[in-house]
Amino acid sequence: MGDIERYEGAWSRDGKLLAYCNGSDGFVAKSDGSESRRLVTIKNSAFIFNPVWSPDGTHLRFDVEDLLGAPPFLWEVSTDGTGLHRLLSGWNSPPNWECCGNWTSDGKYFVFRSRSQIWALPRKKGLLDPEPKPVQLTFSPLSLATPLPSADGKKLFVVGRTFRGELVRYDLKAGQFVPYLGGISAEFVAFSKDGQWAAYVSYPEGSVWRSKTDGSERLQLTYPLAKAGFPRWSPDGTKIVFYETFPDKPARIYEVPREGGSPRQLMPGNPDAQVDPHWSPDGNRIVFGGYAGDPASSIRILDLATHQISKLPGSEGMFSPSWSPDGRYISALSADMKRLLLFDFQTRISASLGMW
């Protein structure tokens, strides 16, 4: 294959051409690796994978995934580099992991994954025909992976999985991890300041729950369409903030009372991603960041009394903020996680500290 650097390659049906991906670029070359040419470039923080040739060899379909956390989409382009477009735009609202497609052997259907199930998209017969609509093939309780059509085109082979975690704690006396709260399937555990309450996110559903630290008085606080992350208790233990990630819009921060009720979006008018909220020690402000690795991310502070948002100086590209217990400092990580930003509220100076 010469000196081609690549991942995720696919041969054309006649074996004369090879499509392959390299980051956000898609290429086509001859079967021996010669005459490689860039076919498509997807801009913004995205990369291309899983190229699939059309039955007649005139088009390529592939997955595009956003590195900032948005789900993948299916795209198509002609093998001459024209006609680049997203498939099924507006079909699934919100979009939900439309990816991982293959053509059936007779070329009549493009089977793919969406909402953890398998769908079939009929091939368009002609230019004047209406756009076909996907048909759901499976209604499984399992999360299904990439479908593989059989050689005769009558069956699909697919792997089904059930995701589960186990919540554990480290027992210092025993020197090992032991199940916590019965070993429930959860993540992002946080404790109230008085040590009486725990909040966590169920996995893989992504709902926020709270309970006493012994597991009693368990209550589900959210029933989201999106997944929640990093619940944090207010200093007085009466409220919890968290963020939800959405497939088609930036993450948003919400607040919910400990006793339940409708979660309240704290910054509905702010267009930027809102991730990883932390309370100030006095409970009057919330510091938050953006997505890890996003150069547009910065560390911001919401004043709960005035609803004003301010940005920490020198925090561009930083994420994962945390307030010191005495309220004097805020720390945050650089995009490559090699630097630590430390902002001092007394001196109003940000210091960048190398970690390795």
Give long-range contacts, CB 8 A cutoff, 24+ apart: 324-332: 325/281, 326/281, 327/280, 327/281, 327/282, 330/287, 330/299, 332/289, 332/299
Residues 6+ apart with CB under 8 A from 89: none
What Cα–Cα distance (Å) separates residue 94 from each residue in 9, 27, 90, 114, 264?
Answer: 29, 30, 8, 11, 21
Pair (115, 154) in one structural domain: yes
Residue 240 lies in a domain: yes
Pair (203, 324) in one structural domain: yes
- Please give the pLDDT value at position 132: 87
- Please give the pLDDT value at position 81: 92
Q: In this model, does residue 3 exceed pLDDT 90?
A: no
Pair (74, 215) in one structural domain: no
| Alpha-carbon span 253 to 347, nearest angstrom | 29
Q: How many domains does the chain have?
A: 2
Mean pLDDT value across residues 85-105: 82
Pair (113, 35) in one structural domain: yes
- Please give the pLDDT value at position 171: 94
Q: Return the higher-pLDDT residue of 310 and 131.
A: 310
**Percent share of the chain, pLDDT over 90:** 62
Pair (180, 328) in one structural domain: yes
Q: In this model, does residue 23 exceed pLDDT 90?
A: no
| Alpha-carbon span 209 to 223, nearest angstrom | 10
Residue 83 lies in a domain: yes
Q: Return the higher-pLDDT residue of 286 and 94.
A: 286
What count of other Cβ atoms lies within 10 Å of the Cβ of residue 354? 8
Kindly report the average pLDDT of the chain as a whole number.
Answer: 88
Flag whether the pTM goes above 0.85. Answer: no
Phi, psi of 33, rounded to the nearest 5 degrees:
90, -5
Residues in the chain: 356
Buried/exposed code over 246-281 (b: 16+ C-beta within 10 A; e: otherwise)? bbeebbbbbbbebeeeebeebbeebebbbbbbbbbe
Pair (173, 154) in one structural domain: no
- Please give the pLDDT value at position 141: 86
| Alpha-carbon span 219 to 320, nearest angstrom | 27
DSSP state of 181: G
Q: Which residue, of 135, 161, 187, is where some domain finishes?
A: 161
Half-sphere exposure of residue 155: CA atoms within 13 angstroms, side-chain side: 5
Residue 101 lies in a domain: yes
Residue 2 lies in a domain: no
Pair (143, 218) in one structural domain: no
CATH code for the domain in which residue 330 is found: 2.120.10.30
Confidence bin at 303 (pLDDT 50/70/90):
very high
User: Which residue has tokens 């090992």?
Assistant: 176
Q: In this model, does residue 216 exceed pLDDT 50?
A: yes
Q: In this model, does residue 4 exceed pLDDT 60?
A: no
**SS3 of 155, please?**
coil
Q: In this model, does residue 355 exceed pLDDT 60?
A: no
Pair (140, 124) in one structural domain: yes
| Alpha-carbon span 231 to 220, nearest angstrom | 13
Q: Which residue, of 120, 146, 161, is where some domain finishes?
A: 161
Q: In this model, does residue 294 exceed pLDDT 90?
A: no
Pair (145, 239) in one structural domain: no
Pair (305, 191) in one structural domain: yes
Range of the domain at 65: 7-161
Pair (230, 136) in one structural domain: no
Pair (246, 337) in one structural domain: yes
- Please give the pLDDT value at position 1: 46
For 25-70, write each residue's pLDDT tens digit. 999 999 888 899 999 988 766 789 999 999 999 999 999 987 655 6
Confidence bin at 6 (pLDDT 50/70/90):
low
**Percent share of the chain, pLDDT over 70:** 91
Residue 296 lies in a domain: yes
Residue 1 lies in a domain: no
Lowest mean pLDDT across 122-131, 257-266, 288-297, 331-340: 122-131
Q: Which residue, of 101, 131, 161, is where some domain finishes?
A: 161
For 222-281, write each residue's pLDDT tens digit. 987 788 999 999 999 999 999 998 766 789 999 999 999 999 999 999 999 999 999 999
**SS3 of 53, please?**
strand
